[in-house]
Structures are given as C-alpha cells and as structure tokens.
A = this chain, B = another copy of it.
Amino acid sequence: MPALKHGDLVMLWSPKKGDSYLVRLTPKASQSTHLGILRHDDLAGLCYGDPVLSNTGKIFFLLKPSMGEYMRRIRRQTQIVFPKEAGYILLHLSIFPGARIVECGSGSGSLTTFFASMVGTEGRVFSYDRRPDFSALAQANCERWGVADRVEFKVRDIGEEGFDESGADAVFLDVQAPEDYLQQARLALAPGRQLGLIVPTTNQLERLIPALQAESFVNIEILELFLRRYKATAARLRPEDVMVGHTGFLVFATLVRGQAEVAESGDE
C-alpha cells in the first residue's frame, strides 16, 4: 500500500456528524476544522484508510476522494453538472477510454474533469468557453484532479467560429441558448453518435426540440433525475427531510445523415 505524499488529494472525514474536508497535501500547510487542526506534514506517510488525531484529540480518517465527491466540492463560479446527471451522461454518450469528446461551455469544469478522467490517457477532451475566467477555472479544477493534460481548453464564441474538431465520439452542450449552436454541434460530431445537452427551463426544451429536428438529430430523449437520500440510522430508517427539486433537464439526440423529411414521432 503506497504511503500518501505531498501533492495527493485526501478527504479528511470525521465520524462526528460525517463532516469532511478535501485537501491536497502541501508541505507546512495545515487544515483548520471545527474539531481542531491537522498538519499536512503529519498526514504524509500515512495511507488511505488510516485514522489520525487533530490537535484537540478528535479522530479523522484519510479517505480517497471519489470522482463524485470531487465534483460536488469543486470550486465553482457557475451552476455545475452534478454526479447524478454526469453518470447518466457518460452512459448515454459514447464516452470510454480513448474517446474524443467536445464540450461547450467549460463552466467550472466539473463535467470536464469527469470526461477527462474517463477518456484515459489516450482519449481527448476539447472544452470550449467564451469566457476566459471560466476556462481558467475549469483548467485549474482539472489540474487539481490530475487530468488537465488530456484536455484542450479553448476560449471562443462557438456561435461565430464553430468547433475545430469533426468526427467526435460525443458532443455535450451546456449553454444558455443551445438551439443556436446545433449546426456547429452537427459539424463536430460523427454521424450515428449522440449529442447531449442540459437546460434548466421548459421553454428551452420547447425551442430545442424543433431545432434538433431541423439539424438532422433524431431519437430525442428528454429526462430528469431525482436523487433521494436516506439517513443511515438502522433503527429509524427514513428519507432525508429535504431534497434537491431541480438541477436541469437532460436531452439526448443522435445525428443522422440525409434525414430529409423524417418526422420525429411524438404522442400523436
């Protein structure tokens, strides 16, 4: 079992109410918590799974952060895509080790980090955003997870210049008016593959559907996911009192060629 060293990401988890802290081990740094202080130099050399005591004698465990936990805690300036949606997106697009993925916008990079993790060292993510600050933040978040070298970040308004890529395995759009960028998405995507989108309002969905049909996208799926958590108390098992009511609607559609007058079939 390799010992932790400076540079590693660690989740400090307290059995006291489950509080946790995500830290990158850094020489001479320390982490303040409401249960005392932990010096990073004391953590280096330990292993994932080990217990450690704060300066006030409170126990913490060193856990290996999962991708889901990292996404939830990512530094953000935008609305982010959450794990419950991200996992479903992965399964619906053709994302696998070696894949070439195009996304716009980069936002805070939560989805970028995830895509970059999953395409592996031989895959590639092309992540566009017209705002340099978002692009830089997304890059920083990818670097923190150690996958920034698999991503090309580009600052660009794709409405004017389009994507550089073609024949991509998947394209994902998380932008304000995705109906305006479907031609660009079509040119970047390999035929027979899937475009994914996320939008927060029903008005956007209503505009998207005919726009997708006009750009040779078929097999349109629209869905939303709810996540309901339970309190892990064996003798009084019950769902948590509050849940997230909405993050966004997911849309998927497949690009075809020569669609001509193919009409999408609804609930006629």
Give chain A's interface residue range (CB within 8 Å of chain B). Answer: 35 or more
Dominant secondary structure of chain A at its interface with chain B? mixed
Residues of B with C-beta under 8 A to A89: 87
- A131 interface contact, C-beta 8 A: no
A241 partner, pick from B16, B61, B245, beta carbons under 8 A: B245
Select from chain B the residue with minimum beta-carbon distance to A69.
B92
Q: Which residues of B contact A262 (CB under 8 A)?
A: 15, 59
Which chain B positions have C-beta within 8 A of A240?
245-246
| Contact B97 A97, beta carbon cutoff 8 Å | yes
Q: Is A200 an interface residue (CB 8 A)?
A: yes
**What's the Cα separation between A68 and B57 when bound, in Å?**
47
State the Cβ distance, A114 to closest chain B Cβ, in Å. 7
Residues of A in contact with B (beta carbons under 8 Å apart): 1, 13, 15-18, 20, 47-51, 59, 61-64, 66-69, 71, 83-84, 86-94, 96-98, 114, 117-121, 167, 190-194, 200-203, 205-207, 209-210, 218-246, 249, 254-259, 262-267
